[in-house]
Amino acid sequence: MLRRAAPSAATALLRRALSTTPRTRSPAAATAVASSSAVNSILLRSLKEHYLEVCKMTPPPKISPPKPYTIVKGALDQSSGPVLRRSFGEAGEEISISVARLANIMPPGADSDSDDSDGAGGASESISQLFLHVDISRPESGKSLQFLCGLYPDAVGIHSVCLRSKTAASGAVAVAAATKGGGEYQGRIFQELDEKVRDAFHFYIEARGINEKLFPFLQAWLYVKDHRNLMRWFKSVGAAVSEPKPE
């Protein structure tokens, strides 16, 4: 049996030195790293500039919701959920309202109650048209009557109405589910109902304070929420792009 000679001390030291000596980067790799850092710096500088511009934006004047509606505590910090609440009538109906920009929910031209015939979108349209999810229920009932409405400075229009379980999704989640369809029977398409029935539903929600008087507050509330979300987004993206500091 052949036996290998034991390595000399010099050989052992050489191997140890080779194993601990860092490998130098190739010129191509070094160039790629430098280029990536430069791109990151450009993006971070742009994010910071726009963040500072957003900080200078003047917020709308503070507006209170029409009484007896009250603001849901913490609504500005939630990604979805109701903004306003109130009780109504001797039966103690519980009414909650969630809001979103109509342009973010309905495609251009889908709002049949709008007087705009060109179907053009844009910033002005998204500001002047809001989308409401209204939930009306009684304490002893396991169901709630839910309306999806378009809200304007001078009018409110119903897009759909359905009866859903109280345990079902609410707020923005309910809006998405309702616009996609599926699940339990939601009733007929609202515009296919008899005109007298449609008018009766409009009287029903207007009696509960679901009308154009909500628009100024909800418009200002959405502005503040969007402003907060945008500032938070700039910070989050900047933190994700920033290179980790060496320890």
Task: Give the single-character DSSP code of 51.
Answer: H
Please report the pLDDT score of residue 12 as a whole number: 53
DSSP codes, 81-95: S-SEEEEETTTTEEE
**Rounded-to-integer distance, Cα 25 and Cα 33, Å:** 10
Q: What is the pLDDT of residues 207-246, one digit of tens each?
A: 999 999 999 999 999 988 888 888 888 888 988 888 676 5
CA distances 104 to 108, 136, 141, Å, are: 10, 24, 32
Please report the pLDDT score of residue 245 as a whole number: 63
Q: Does the pTM exceed 0.85?
A: no
What is the rounded average pLDDT for all residues in the chain? 77
Residues of the chain predicted below pLDDT 70:
1-34, 103-126, 168-185, 243, 245-247
CATH T-level topology, domain 70-109+127-231: Mitochondrial Matrix Protein; Chain A (3.10.280)
Please report the pLDDT score of residue 58 as a whole number: 78
Residue type, 187: G
Domain segments of the chain as ranges:
70-109+127-231
DSSP codes, 117-184: -S----HHHHHH-EEEEEEEE-TT-SEEEEEEEEEETTEEEEEEEEEEETTS--HHHHHHHHHH--SS
